Amino acid sequence: MSEAAGPQEISGADLRRNVSLLSLFKIFLTIGAISFGGGVVAYLREYIVRGEQWMDDEEFLDALEVGQTLPGLIAVNLSVIIGDRIRGAAGAVAAAIGILLPGTIVVMTAGVLYMGNRQNPAVNHFLGGVAAAAVGLLTAVALQLGHKQLVHLGDFLLVMATFVTISLLHQSLIVVILVVGPIAVMLYHPRTHKEMKPARTREPIRLAGHR
């Protein structure tokens, strides 16, 4: 006699199996249409992790880490990585087109309108407010994900080194990657990382009736 089925824990991989390309395109089209002011990372997490639950925070962090180290726009990089994770190459194309299409249309239209209204104080105040909101969104995401990533002193020191190098010493991102990157690799090398608490651990997904 089989065991009684209890509440099942559904992983992001289970939810991704039935995602259609159209659904993927619509989600990224929505994100591209409402992610004003550069706060696209916050919107991506809100829709992909908290909304559709196609990824968990750990998987999203993995995608974010790769996307930030690649050349190009972080929004496009993340869209390609997430789309590929969900539906392969076709998903990457659908996600990239979805997130780029609204911005392309809006920027082309806004560019024409802005040229005739760039001296209008109300327009400049509106753009300043959008920029401030974007900073708030990115700060919120940093705080929400930071407690999962910053678990020991080495993490904090790497963050502070990156902040000081870019914000105070005004060095380029390339310099930061070339200097801080190798230090991070050495710090997190398996042999040197044994004495450190793992930054992220994943528990196996257990479904009712399975051992």
Alpha-carbon torsion angle 158, 83, 27, 105, nearest 10: 90
Q: Which of 44-53, 90-99, 132-141 reaches the highest mean pLDDT?
A: 90-99
Predicted local distance difference test score (pLDDT) of residue 166: 84
Closest to 202 in 3D by CA, of 43, 54, 16, 61: 61
- Average pLDDT, rounded, for the chain: 77
Residues of the chain with pLDDT > 70, as a percent, come to 75
**pLDDT band per the 50, 70, 90 thresholds, residue 95:** very high
Arithmetic mean of pLDDT, 8-27:
77
Closest to 78 in 3D by CA, of 51, 50, 49, 107: 49
- Is the pTM of the predicted complex or chain greater than 0.85? no
**pLDDT band per the 50, 70, 90 thresholds, residue 167:** confident
Predicted local distance difference test score (pLDDT) of residue 159: 80
Arithmetic mean of pLDDT, 155-167:
82
- Which has more pLDDT, 10 or 116? 116
CB atoms within 10 A of CB 116: 8
What letters, b where the CB count within 10 A reaches 16 and e where it falls short, cover 145-156?
A: beeebebeebbe
Least confident of 55-64, 97-106, 185-194: 185-194
Predicted local distance difference test score (pLDDT) of residue 90: 95
**pLDDT band per the 50, 70, 90 thresholds, residue 11:** low
Predicted local distance difference test score (pLDDT) of residue 85: 92
Delimit the domains of the chain by residue range: 12-144, 150-211
Predicted local distance difference test score (pLDDT) of residue 30: 93
Q: Which amino acid is at 61?
A: L
Per-residue pLDDT tens over the stretch 53-65: 999 988 998 898 8
